[in-house]
């Protein structure tokens, strides 16, 4: 149980284009989903928190107009990197917090999406 998927697992795009990453909770409903980015040999950096049906909350320093987050349902959140540039190249990981359940604070992570902007 508690499986989270991400699509695509990797993507290469040209500078200036937009890329959409999907995060799905496969066997549970998630009231809250989190988006992280991770640079090589570094820990996770929280970018934003999204709740189903409401606007995402972005961490300080994260451009909300560049990283568009949509959490349209209890099982799906999307992150769109708009006008991507090489410095946006990173490993993007989503996590989901189950609605209710035995342990309410756990987050379950997707496998990550490797974005490379040329």
Partner 1 sequence: EDQVTQSPEALRLQEGESSSLNCSYTVSGLRGLFWYRQDPGKGPEFLFTLYSAGEEKEKERLKATLTKKESFLHITAPKPEDSATYLCAVQAGREMDSNYQLIWGAGTKLIIKP
Footprint of partner 1 on this chain (CB under 8 A)?
Answer: 2, 4, 6, 32, 34, 42-44, 46, 49, 51, 57, 91, 93, 95, 97, 103-112, 114
Longest dimension (CA), the chain: 44
Residue number with CB closer to partner 1 (13 or 91): 91
d(CA 51, CA 70): 9
Helices (H) and strands (E) in the chain, counts: 0, 11
Q: For residue 61, say if its preceding peptide bond is cis, omega within 30 degrees of 0.
A: no
Residue number with CB closer to partner 1 (42 or 73): 42
Residue number with CB closer to partner 1 (38 or 82): 38
d(CA 48, CA 10): 20
Q: How far is the CB of 53 from partner 1 (least distance, A)?
A: 14
Q: How far is the CB of 66 from partner 1 (least distance, A)?
A: 21
């Amino acid at each position: 149980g508690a499986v989270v998927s991400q699509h695509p697992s990797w993507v290469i795009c040209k500078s200036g284009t937009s890329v959409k990453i999907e995060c799905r909770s496969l066997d549970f409903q998630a009231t809250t989903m989190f988006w992280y980015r991770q640079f090589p040999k570094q820990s996770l950096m929280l970018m934003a928190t999204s709740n189903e049906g409401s606007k995402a909350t972005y961490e300080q320093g994260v451009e909300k107009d560049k990283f568009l987050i949509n959490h349209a349902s209890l099982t799906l959140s999307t992150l769109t990197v708009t006008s991507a540039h090489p410095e946006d190249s990173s490993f993007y990981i989503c996590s989901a917090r189950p609605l209710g359940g035995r342990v309410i604070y756990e987050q379950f992570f997707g496998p990550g999406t490797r974005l490379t902007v040329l």
